[in-house]
Structure 1
Amino acid sequence: MTGEREQDPTTPFYDAPTGGWGSLKSVLRHATQDRIRLGTLETLRRQNKPGGHMCTSCAWAKPPSPHLAEFCENGAKATLWDLTRDRCTPDFFARHTLAELRDWPDHDLEAVGRLTHPMRYDAGSDRYVEATWPEAFAAIGASLKAMDPKKAVFYASGRASLETSYLYALFARLYGHNNLPDSSNMCHETTSVALKRTIGAPVGTCVLEDFEHCDLMLFFGQNTGSNSPRFLHPIQQAVKRGCRIVTFNPIRERGLVEFMNPQSPTEMLSGRGTPISDIYLQLRPGGDIAAIAGICKHLFDHGALDRDFIDRHCHDFDAFETWVRAQSWAGIEAASGLSQGDLAEVAGLFAASKRVIGVYGMGLTQHVHGGDSVGMLVNLLLMGGHIGRPGTGICPVRGHSNVQGQRTVGISEKPELVPLDRLAQMFDFDPPRDTGMTTVEVVQGVIDGTVKGFVSLGGNFARAIPDLDRAEPAWARLDLNVQIATKLNRSHLLVGGSAWLLPCLVRAERDQQKTGPQAVSMEDSLSHIHGSMGRRSPASRHLLSEPAIVAGIAKATLPPNPRVRWDHWIADYGRIRDLIEETYPDQFDGFNERLFKAGGFYRGNSARRRDWKTETGRAEFTVPPSLSALGSEPGEGAFTLVTLRSNDQFNTTVYGYRDRLRGLEGDRMIVLIGRADMARAGVAEGQRVSLVSAVEDGITRRVEGLTVVPYDLPAGCVAAYYPEANPLVPLAHHDIASKTPAYKGAPVRIEAQ
């Protein structure tokens, strides 16, 4: 690699390729730890293939011609975690109060095993006690009927299927609200808002075939090795045919440094991986706007832009050019932490490339000006005409396996994104038209008491949110807390007046309804729809599917409506897909017939066709308010905190205590910091410290008991694990346009203990 500083050898790091023997050993270790049966190997063999089940981990695309193993290390961990032999039974809850369980680590709670029975919270004993499904549905329905619908929230994690999500969103609107936040509110809502504004489509424009034709990929804030490892296959193939890779990330993540394909005998036997990034630039957190501005400044100086495309398809280009030319190199270098020479080298690659793809993750979206960062990447691609041609495009990489699809079928707090008139006609009701609550607004409502009821379709909402130490005590004031889940987590322990724990099937398990085994579907990051069929025996005979649970609560809550046929739909999920097709005919034509199409079926993207559904009918150049996405600099003596997920983690689920791809292991209560910054802060390796929020709003936010670990980071940056560091991120510290929490750029101070 050229153009950047090499790895600091005096700090921990992983010197082997991503993938390879390390991944195989990790999967074997987890299979042993979770006491997996041999039949699980057959489940993994079918994973992410037509007729099999779709992984519950990342949302990366599934190729039409699958590899022998179409799962990655993290996908295997997710499936093994789901199919463990361990069980969380009523006897477990009889032995433990919730007050006791609140002292358990996240990993230990989920490691108890699969939930087996519906449970009701008993305040007298501070325990969950066994209940029946009819009892649960009747009690939850009675609570919701007695509540102002506007004070209830229906949250959805990103793993619920399209069928479940459609019913859930319909239930919410029939009940009377649009309070439908989902996990997108905490990660990629920035994308939905920024791309809708700039190119008229709220999702990325790439399809899998584009990676076979591009000659340059630019990565911003996306940790491929841990968060979407199957993406490494097309990246490796692109590199081998000559595609260049440039990565911008404060942390050197091994997935974009070197990859060894575990399915290649030659690579495994030789021990040699494929170098990935030609240039790897460790910019400052929030420095992406400045870095892209520097690239654009070089392109303007050398006339390297597609004027024909810009004149025919774009709006406000002159304002953008004026802004870029006005930026000084001193300002660009200070905000990005990169040199003019580094950015000139990238600009040279960009100018010489015919087909460019811009790839990004939450390192771009989770900032105060995250939307402006996304807009700057769109600006750069538009300058070269790199949207709407094969081998080009913008590619946000989503995390949860169906978080994008949930938005597609109606999980949204924004009524303007949902065909409400069509729903009104189909189901003979008047849908609510007011804007619902985002995640940030839900948390504020829990804190101030305006939210009275919370229904969670999966996830661990109370652990994933910012400012969680402020919010946790307030959950006890809820009138109703309903958690649909597969395993125990901390959100289940923060109980209100009435609390219910409802266990559901996992995606790999057989879903048997009146008409036979059922399939569900989900949407990947590249807007392709895939069918999923589970075949494993359920962990308990008392489990219900997510659609059946949603329907059960809805029937107990809503008045009868002859057009709303919950039992009819649950008997055959194909009928739900017919409803989705009727509601969204332009995207789901022939849904049932195309359900198991190899590689999924594409629901289309207007921007890919250069049909710009913006206010002007053109692709929009935008001007950011500043060169930094942070909103403000951290201040004298303060640092910018970046929160991280480990290699043994998916969102709030912690599979273990190894962060292999960063050379870390054991303790999650650590703070990573460069050696020069350790000296500046007056702390030593191994010292116990506290991180304290540097936001001056009259509220003290502190995380104690962190061990100092030297690490290769840009000056002024520290890193700590999510969700352990979430209390340091203020609720008001979020992307301005989307209210996505700014987990990648919170100001903090270090205090010795």
Structure 2
Amino acid sequence: MTTSENKNAHSPIAQDPNTPYDRGPAGGWGSLRGISRIFGDVGGSTVAAKILANLNKPGGVMCSSCAWAKPAKPAKFEFCENGAKATLWELDEKRADAAFFEEHSVSELKSWHDHDLERAGRLSEPLRYDAARDRYVPVSWDTALQEIGQILQRIAPKEAVFYASGHAGLEASYLYALFARAMGHQNLPQSSNMCHETTSVNLKTFIGTPVGTCTLEDFDHCDAIFFFGQNTGTNSPRFLHTLKAAVERGCKIVTFNPVRERGLLEFVDPQNIMQMITNHPTRISNKYYQVKPGGDIAVLAGMMKHVLAREDAAPGTILDHDFIASETTGFAETAALIRAFDWSEIEAQSGLSRALIVEAADIYIAAKNVIGIYGMGLTQHVNGWLNLGMYCNLLLMRGNIGRLGAGMSPVRGHSNVQGQRTVGIGEKSAHMPAEKLKAQFGIDAPSEEGLNIVKASEGVLDGSVKAMLSLGGNLLRALPDRERLEAAWPNLDLTVHISTKPNRSHLAPGKVSYILPCLGRTDIDRQASGPQAVSMEDTFSHIYGSLGTAEPPSDKVRSETAIVAGIAKATLPPNPRLRWDEWVANYDLIRDLIAETFPDDFSDFNKRMMQPGGFYRGNPARDRNWKTESGKAQFTPPTTLSALGQSPSGQNAMTLITLRSNDQFNTTIYGFSDRLRGLEGSREIVLMNRKEMDRLGLTEGQTVTLRSQIDDGIERQIGGLKVTPYDLPDGTVAGYYPELNPLVPLSYHEKNSLTPAYKGTPVEVRA
């Protein structure tokens, strides 16, 4: 088997030929086949075709999948394979109705695969769990809301947790955040807690903003793009069109990732007739380096070390001294520590040679404008804070933050995960200022910080949390330490799921448990004043309006906004300034409230929400207005060269990274084809390279068990995993999320944000 170094030294697309991989490019005919399969599975209709034709366009539906930008001048088809799958999945013609739940007990449904649960169809009426019959049974909306409100009134406010996935629009999200604070708590964990919270917490410390600094325009002016730990081909495929255009005008793309992902290697544009006919791809990455899991800090330290060496050799020609002096602090201390690192240590921690790191650094130096892209490969580590700190360091050395064509650009996952935080879903008072709520609504919002998802989960385990409301999502399936949490969840006094389809979290009902069916993004939302639009925020801080055009699955399905308002009204004492019914009747009124609460971000909200390309709410760091403690951008002195919290130890020890397949979005499994990795069929697999298989005496197809090496007195292991050869760095195993989540303890998380360390867990392989 050739080494990563040899492959990378010659070609960005060289691949170990003795392991599975997809021979074709991302996009192209494979993407169209993937869409057509789902179209047939869910009973695709002319309505679905019309929605796809207007997806992500002004006046149309904004995709419920990723948070990539919706350009002001969209392509003829402004959707990707995964966006089409998410849309078609929501338009499913099947119904998970009362008859379905009468036929299948909860105990039986626990034996179903996640894919099959959601394939049961759209939820079409409110349901309450009947423990005596072990079934969900129909219930009226009035009864459901009344009982939920009564239980929430009985418990202390801090015993309730209001979780939100990234699906709900800004309108429902704002009311949810307001409801929690009016009730008296800030227990508002969100899906960001499990993915990009490392960004929200740490980027604000480094450069004064909790989100990325780039906009779509920057990609027209950058000279180089560096990728760390982000799989564009699966997680945000529309980004590939932007990358293709950048490459074609001469921009160089450099990728660091333990896995060779096809979307960052080659791409055929499905809307380019000549490319489709010839199947001749655009090469995306100029260089592709397979860094070890947790080795990104070492790579960045090596690149910085070479930048400093080049500056020493030609003083005043490499660093942006004016920018460093006027806009930053901490450079001297950081540079001294970087200089002190030995190259042998950098090579050992990164898994790459000095020559390869220098090669990447020279591309960085040669580029005037550089964009830094990253994903969960950087955020889901114990030392994820330092991953981001070092990445900022590298960009700051040459002034690559706060100017056109340059910046820090995390690629967010769920469509409105960033927007929900913007309008108040979060555990801190800063997320929804108490003085504003007092002035607007006369309520005394709590000052005590609430629970994020790790603290909330700990509360479920120790019994201090009594009620869990979920605004979308499949929380229990997404969490680490899942087996412990699944055992504890039924002890909750109340569980409420606001959902479009059945999922695994519904199958661990609390003492009282409701499933409340909600409209999807594609559905017509009819209220008293007429059809309503909802809004969301993309990864570039642009706000868009979305208007559903499909008939809802039944007349008993309500909007997320109406459900949140209904629970709030049933729970809270009367307050004439909390006008829940009026807000549900006309979402314009909610957007007026959002603009009043957050005037800097949402002025003239209703007038601008249907603006082509969205309206930009701004970013201070983009204007070099550093909202940090020092008032300047902060260089971060490195304290270690590894992002891992614990290195694996022992003969059979490896570092585990979890992956999402090409047929998946978060916990939703559309099918069993991981086409872009050349893998088909079972998800119960463990990937490793053939060299490691030989070292451990394992054969292809052999069944093994993975055991967590985190020693906290709790045994965590998963068996029945088939060994599958794959092109990975030495010392690395990979498997699917969420199947391998039980191997990661709740306590194994990023230092500051508590984001689970899904990309760097020490495990041992047992035959």
TM-score, normalised via structure 2 length? 0.97
Measure how far apart 1:4 and its partner are.
6.0
Task: Write the letter of the residue equivalent to 2:304.
Answer: C
Whole-angstrom distance in 2 between the partners of 1:584 and 1:242: 40
Are residues 1:221 and 2:229 paired?
yes
Are residues 1:174 and 2:182 paired?
yes
Q: Match for 2:121 among 103, 108, 113?
A: 113
Would the aligned equivalents of 1:388 and 1:608 in 2 still touch at CA under 8 Å?
yes
| Paired position in structure 1 for 2:668 | 653
| Paired position in structure 2 for 1:3 | 9
Whole-angstrom distance in 1 between the partners of 2:297 and 2:252: 21
| Paired position in structure 2 for 1:615 | 629
Question: What is the CA deviation profile of residues 272-318 of structure 1, one whole-angstrom value per residue up to 9, with x for unaligned ones?
Answer: 01001010000000111000000000000011211111001000101
Measure how far apart 1:146 and its partner are.
0.5
Q: Match for 1:287 among 286, 291, 295?
A: 295
| Paired position in structure 2 for 1:704 | 719
Whole-angstrom distance in 1 between the partners of 2:712 and 2:519: 44
| Paired position in structure 1 for 2:138 | 130
Task: Write the letter of the residue equivalent to 2:127.
Answer: M
Measure how far apart 1:270 and its partner are.
1.2
Whole-angstrom distance in 2 between the partners of 1:702 and 1:560: 50
Measure how far apart 1:235 and its partner are.
0.5
Superposition map of 1:9-24 within 5 A: 9-24=17-32
| Paired position in structure 2 for 1:383 | 397
Superposition map of 1:473-622 within 5 A: 473-622=487-636
Measure how far apart 1:680 and its partner are.
1.9
Superposition map of 1:87-166 within 5 A: 87-166=95-174
Whole-angstrom distance in 2 between the partners of 1:390 and 1:734: 34
| Paired position in structure 2 for 1:267 | 275
Whole-angstrom distance in 1 between the partners of 2:431 and 2:587: 24
Whole-angstrom distance in 2 between the partners of 1:654 and 1:632: 31
Whole-angstrom distance in 1 between the partners of 2:59 and 2:645: 47
Whole-angstrom distance in 2 between the partners of 1:123 and 1:712: 48
Are residues 1:467 and 2:484 paired?
no
Whole-angstrom distance in 2 between the partners of 1:118 and 1:281: 50
% identical aligned pairs: 58
Whole-angstrom distance in 2 between the partners of 1:681 and 1:700: 22
Specify the SS of the correspondent of 1:247. Answer: strand
Question: What is the CA deviation profile of residues 697-749 of structure 1, one whole-angstrom value per residue up to 9, with x for unaligned ones?
Answer: 11100111100000000000000000000000011100001000000000111
| Paired position in structure 1 for 2:4 | none
Question: What is the CA deviation profile of residues 438-479 of structure 1, one whole-angstrom value per residue up to 9, with x for unaligned ones?
Answer: 111111111111111000000000000000011111011000
Question: After TM superposition, where is structure 1 displaced by more than 4 Å over at least 4 residues in a row?
Answer: none
Whole-angstrom distance in 2 between the partners of 1:470 and 1:135: 32
Measure how far apart 1:99 and its partner are.
1.1
Question: What is the CA deviation profile of residues 356-410 of structure 1, one whole-angstrom value per residue up to 9, with x for unaligned ones?
Answer: 0000000000000011101111110000100111000000000000000000000
Q: Match for 2:66 among 33, 58, 62?
A: 58
| Paired position in structure 2 for 1:190 | 198
| Paired position in structure 2 for 1:681 | 696
Whole-angstrom distance in 1 between the partners of 2:113 and 2:284: 36
Would the aligned equivalents of 1:47 and 1:54 in 2 still touch at CA under 8 Å?
yes
Specify the SS of the correspondent of 1:166. Answer: helix
Task: Write the letter of the residue equivalent to 1:691.
Answer: L
Superposition map of 1:221-370 within 5 A: 221-303=229-311, 304-370=318-384
| Paired position in structure 2 for 1:78 | 86
Specify the SS of the correspondent of 2:600. Answer: coil
| Paired position in structure 2 for 1:741 | 756
Whole-angstrom distance in 2 between the partners of 1:418 and 1:311: 35
Are residues 1:200 and 2:192 paired?
no
Measure how far apart 1:2 and its partner are.
5.5
Whole-angstrom distance in 1 between the partners of 2:433 and 2:621: 20
Task: Write the letter of the residue equivalent to 2:39.
Answer: A
Measure how far apart 1:3 and its partner are.
2.9
Would the aligned equivalents of 1:3 and 1:280 in 2 still touch at CA under 8 Å?
no
Whole-angstrom distance in 2 between the partners of 1:72 and 1:4: 31
Would the aligned equivalents of 2:527 and 2:586 in 1 still touch at CA under 8 Å?
yes
Specify the SS of the correspondent of 1:705. Answer: strand
Whole-angstrom distance in 1 between the partners of 2:260 and 2:308: 30
Whole-angstrom distance in 1 between the partners of 2:383 and 2:164: 25
Measure how far apart 1:39 and its partner are.
1.9
Measure how far apart 1:632 and its partner are.
2.5
Whole-angstrom distance in 1 between the partners of 2:746 and 2:152: 27
Specify the SS of the correspondent of 1:587. Answer: helix
Specify the SS of the correspondent of 2:396. Answer: helix
Whole-angstrom distance in 1 between the partners of 2:441 and 2:727: 57
Would the aligned equivalents of 2:303 and 2:357 in 1 still touch at CA under 8 Å?
yes
Task: Write the letter of the residue equivalent to 1:543.
Answer: V
Task: Write the letter of the residue equivalent to 1:382.
Answer: L
76-85 vs 32-41, greater mean Cα deviation? 32-41
The answer for unaligned runs of 5 or more in structure 1 is: none
Specify the SS of the correspondent of 1:139. Answer: helix
Task: Write the letter of the residue equivalent to 1:14.
Answer: D
Measure how far apart 1:664 and its partner are.
0.2
Would the aligned equivalents of 2:213 and 2:621 in 1 still touch at CA under 8 Å?
yes
Whole-angstrom distance in 2 between the partners of 1:483 and 1:625: 42
Task: Write the letter of the residue equivalent to 1:36.
Answer: G
Specify the SS of the correspondent of 1:720. Answer: strand
Whole-angstrom distance in 2 between the partners of 1:11 and 1:322: 43
Superposition map of 1:33-48 within 5 A: 33-48=41-56
The answer for unaligned runs of 5 or more in structure 2 is: 1-6, 312-317
Task: Write the letter of the residue equivalent to 1:612.
Answer: W
Task: Write the letter of the residue equivalent to 2:208.
Answer: G
Would the aligned equivalents of 1:74 and 1:229 in 2 still touch at CA under 8 Å?
yes
Whole-angstrom distance in 1 between the partners of 2:457 and 2:585: 36
Whole-angstrom distance in 1 between the partners of 2:95 and 2:711: 45
Paired positions, count: 752
| Paired position in structure 1 for 2:466 | 452
Task: Write the letter of the residue equivalent to 2:205.
Answer: R
Question: What is the CA deviation profile of residues 52-77 of structure 1, one whole-angstrom value per residue up to 9, with x for unaligned ones?
Answer: 01000000001100000000000000
Question: What is the CA deviation profile of residues 478-499 of structure 1, one whole-angstrom value per residue up to 9, with x for unaligned ones?
Answer: 0000000000001011011100
Question: What is the CA deviation profile of residues 66-121 of structure 1, one whole-angstrom value per residue up to 9, with x for unaligned ones?
Answer: 00000000000001100011110101111111111111110010010000110011
Measure how far apart 1:417 and its partner are.
3.2
Whole-angstrom distance in 2 between the partners of 1:673 and 1:477: 39
Whole-angstrom distance in 1 between the partners of 2:8 and 2:116: 43
Specify the SS of the correspondent of 2:206. Answer: helix
Would the aligned equivalents of 1:4 and 1:281 in 2 still touch at CA under 8 Å?
no
Would the aligned equivalents of 1:357 and 1:395 in 2 still touch at CA under 8 Å?
yes
Would the aligned equivalents of 1:216 and 1:357 in 2 still touch at CA under 8 Å?
yes
Whole-angstrom distance in 2 between the partners of 1:32 and 1:532: 25
Whole-angstrom distance in 1 between the partners of 2:92 and 2:184: 39
Would the aligned equivalents of 1:3 and 1:345 in 2 still touch at CA under 8 Å?
no
Are residues 1:400 and 2:436 paired?
no
Whole-angstrom distance in 1 between the partners of 2:685 and 2:8: 31
Would the aligned equivalents of 1:472 and 1:494 in 2 still touch at CA under 8 Å?
yes
Would the aligned equivalents of 1:4 and 1:280 in 2 still touch at CA under 8 Å?
no
Report the aligned-residue RMSD.
0.8
Would the aligned equivalents of 1:510 and 1:534 in 2 still touch at CA under 8 Å?
yes
Question: What is the CA deviation profile of residues 4-29 of structure 1, one whole-angstrom value per residue up to 9, with x for unaligned ones?
Answer: 67310000000111000000011111
Task: Write the letter of the residue equivalent to 1:719.
Answer: A
